[in-house]
Structure 1
């Protein structure tokens, strides 16, 4: 049963001739049960075992949990699923990620239906609303209204917001839209013609270039469009040589090639940021610093601005519009200042006093029964960071940190204020440092770090879950029941936690 779940195998594999021959070869005395036994007995048993283990993880003195949720529709059958993933930090400051639900979601996706579904999901796990720190969702109106009506704290997915900002600021520009359309025609020509691709391969060999396929983009993913343009730019010489002898449905002019190059330079920091916030260790603490660094980079003039100045200005405006209230969001602010890589260095001077006061109030609760005389342990040592490339996103992080190392005010002599001032007076740790390792060494000082660093900044976990769902609900299993599909997905995502143990 583990083999079927972990390797995306259909339940019918136990009746396949090749698998039966393998089992017979390993032990001819063994009688392999049929598919019905695995479906009706083994699958529910393994599901219950994994469920019990995940439940024990979440009840191990966990007081605050971050969630993600999204809706997915299968392409091979009329089935929609609603996801719920959880992330929390245990007592040893170790990050734990689990999948709770990927259940069938029938009917219209109204806010009312979503409220009922979330109520059922939290009830199934015995999770009170007090433990729900935040739910990361997409930007759709029905999901936003459902969170509001259910009185559940929620935030939009940062990756989705970036997607909307890029679409508004760049992809909607006429000159760029024309280039993207031409690029799709070029890639489509080679994708649908083996002869054309064979000719391109021959030219690549003659030019001494590596044999690479051109990459097709997905219109709903702006970064895939960047990858497509990058693949075209890499093959510029080969494509120019190809068009000299053969026909293409479209081709870039010299000015368009330059515009492609500059547009890639403009969007590279967005791609860099998307990769950063989509990592398994990204948290709500990354939102304010990354947006501050991104906007500062967009405000600077660069040599590659030729032809994209309007797009750059529009893009800056779109980013500022989408993220204008992030410093006012309590969760983002406290998570950022509790991250030893950032502290209060990325806040504007106007809001720093309020942010420090807000955190001081949060810390006072956890320090009421502790002595606040000693300072925090020094941040962990490690190799020095590489000097960031000029004009890159990481260079903006370094620029924002430069010269802003002042100590916090010591006017208030309360225990919480003393601890806060000690903490803020220390240098930040390296950008590549590990906040949870830092707080593992200092967990007795600021217990609130466990609560605020458990929140994610994107709903990527739910999107990865649906990638798994797409591998399970495929052409060979398009009649799989929703109940069995959820059990298979649940085991696939959570069983590795037990195996690591």
Structure 2
């Protein structure tokens, strides 16, 4: 019997239609060729409804549960339990030619790898090798693994996560859901290999970038860790070729020697030499400590005192001179400490905040090294006074209560300190240069406080401290030139016109090398120019009033 298959050679590849038609043409040399056509209907959304085996060409199901099939060749009924084993046995025993044709077609599919792969995908099944390949991890030299490792280390450094983060159970369960083939490196591998490689790569990039910088400024500070270990940190500030302001931390170095000017100067120079910027440092900004100021002068760099640190000294010293205010601030600090150390008190406070329709804000504790924490503590205390008073009464802690009439004094203190808080917040920004603001800010602060209607002793102390610490600021050439170059201020920010003219002469002498003499005139602004960034409300109103006069 000559047995041939039509319609895609009875391929097991899926058809584009929901009905699959397999035609079997059979005939013997002694009889006319006859064609047997059988439609196998399957639901493309249900795997159980598809009859993919070639054996079903010769069978038809006879029951609703598909457990019995009738042979189309001899009419005999054959039991089937969802597979074609019994069907193939019947064909082999009673219809050898048809069985041989089916086996030959299956062998063709097996010998064709691409068709075999298509068949596996169509059935949603994998071979043993494919299953092993799917569950096996990435090789060590895999590009995909290296890419994920790089992203993981970047996440750890960006979010300041500990290296042991990769060993956390929850994180590894998350990775198994995202990519079962990826296994993160161990904590030791990250510390030994990945972090060191990333650090070296970033250092090379920064060193190459600093090679193209002609001038830069650095800021430095000394601090002590919780383990009472001394450190010095240096940050470099420069402008890239695209006029983008950049601030990069160069080093955080352990100080094992005493903090003398000579030792600090040596530590600073070692850091700048390592990065090749010693001769490029235009100015160094630090706090007002004598040892660091002298260390900077030993390295022959210009020095500027940090304005935020100077304001911190002004406010902290002024508050300490008012013993009545110190006592009042101490009383508020005790109240805040009580709530921070009692969960019962804190729960009661939250309940009273809801009852009184007050913002559900936490109380803020004072930090001795940050004057503005005192400001925030007093401001939050006044905001939550009614809730605090109610809570203390309910808990029978009347000994902590501050009389209501004392709130007036606290409100006055907060009002006096508000311009200083605004200046501290503005001057601490890293998104724009602030050197040109120092002279106008210092001048406006003095006028704003000295002309206030209050007669509080704190205001008098603040004015005295500002006069002492802001003295000679307009004589600083760096501040003078930077203020003149700022189109918002120019000469308008100076109280001493001689200082402004001296700054103009310095600026013209430096610019004369590259700028023709005919183009060296400094134009006066005809109107007040507002700053692009947010400004303290009252402070810059004072400046605008002076400009208008």
Instruction: Quickly name the TM-score band, shorter chain normalised.
Output: 0.7 to 0.9
Is the 2:488–2:530 Cα contact (8 Å) retained in structure 1?
A: no
Distance 2:520 2:506 in 1: 21
Distance 1:33 1:43 in 2: 12
Matched, 1:100 2:250: yes
SS at match of 2:423: helix
User: Which residue does the alignment assign to 2:156?
Assistant: 4
Is the 1:276–1:282 Cα contact (8 Å) retained in structure 2?
A: no
User: Which residue does the alignment assign to 2:188?
Assistant: 36
Distance 1:361 1:389 in 2: 35
Is the 1:186–1:249 Cα contact (8 Å) retained in structure 2?
A: no
Is the 1:81–1:104 Cα contact (8 Å) retained in structure 2?
A: yes
Change (3 A) 1:243 1:47: closer
Q: CA deviation at 1:359?
A: 1.8
Q: Give the unaligned 5+ runs of structure 2.
A: 1-152
Distance 2:243 2:156 in 1: 33
Alignment counterpart, residue 187 of structure 1, candidates 322, 336, 346:
336
Q: How do 1:183-332 residues align onto structure 2 when only pairs under 5 Å count?
A: 183-245=332-394, 246-280=396-430, 281-302=432-453, 305-306=454-455, 308=456, 310-332=457-479
Q: CA deviation at 1:45?
A: 1.4
Alignment counterpart, residue 354 of structure 1, candidates 495, 502, 517:
502
Distance 2:452 2:267 in 1: 49
Is the 2:336–2:363 Cα contact (8 Å) retained in structure 1?
A: yes
Q: Give the unaligned 5+ runs of structure 1.
A: 404-501
Matched, 1:399 2:545: yes
SS at match of 2:155: helix
In proportion to residue count, which structure has more strand? 2
How many pairs align? 394
Change (3 A) 1:250 1:55: same
Change (3 A) 1:20 1:78: farther
Is the 1:169–1:316 Cα contact (8 Å) retained in structure 2?
A: no
Distance 1:382 1:333 in 2: 18
User: Which residue does the alignment assign to 1:372?
Assistant: 519
Q: Which moved more, 1:146-155 or 1:173-182?
A: 146-155
Is the 1:346–1:400 Cα contact (8 Å) retained in structure 2?
A: no
Distance 1:242 1:40 in 2: 54
Cα RMSD for the two superposed structures: 3.0
Q: CA deviation at 1:388?
A: 8.7
Q: CA deviation at 1:25?
A: 4.0
Distance 2:359 2:376 in 1: 17
Distance 1:54 1:110 in 2: 30
Alignment counterpart, residue 48 of structure 1, candidates 180, 200, 211:
200
SS at match of 1:365: coil
Distance 2:390 2:514 in 1: 68
User: Which residue does the alignment assign to 2:485?
Assistant: 338
Moved over 4 A (4+): 373-376, 381-390
Change (3 A) 1:237 1:128: closer
Q: CA deviation at 1:59?
A: 2.1
Distance 1:37 1:205 in 2: 51
Q: Which moved more, 1:149-158 or 1:322-331?
A: 149-158
Is the 1:337–1:343 Cα contact (8 Å) retained in structure 2?
A: yes
Alignment counterpart, residue 165 of structure 2, candidates 2, 7, 13:
13
Structure number with greater Rg is 2
Q: CA deviation at 1:296?
A: 1.0
Change (3 A) 1:29 1:243: closer
Q: CA deviation at 1:9?
A: 1.9
Is the 1:12–1:35 Cα contact (8 Å) retained in structure 2?
A: yes
Is the 1:218–1:225 Cα contact (8 Å) retained in structure 2?
A: yes
SS at match of 1:85: strand
Q: Which moved more, 1:138-147 or 1:315-324?
A: 138-147
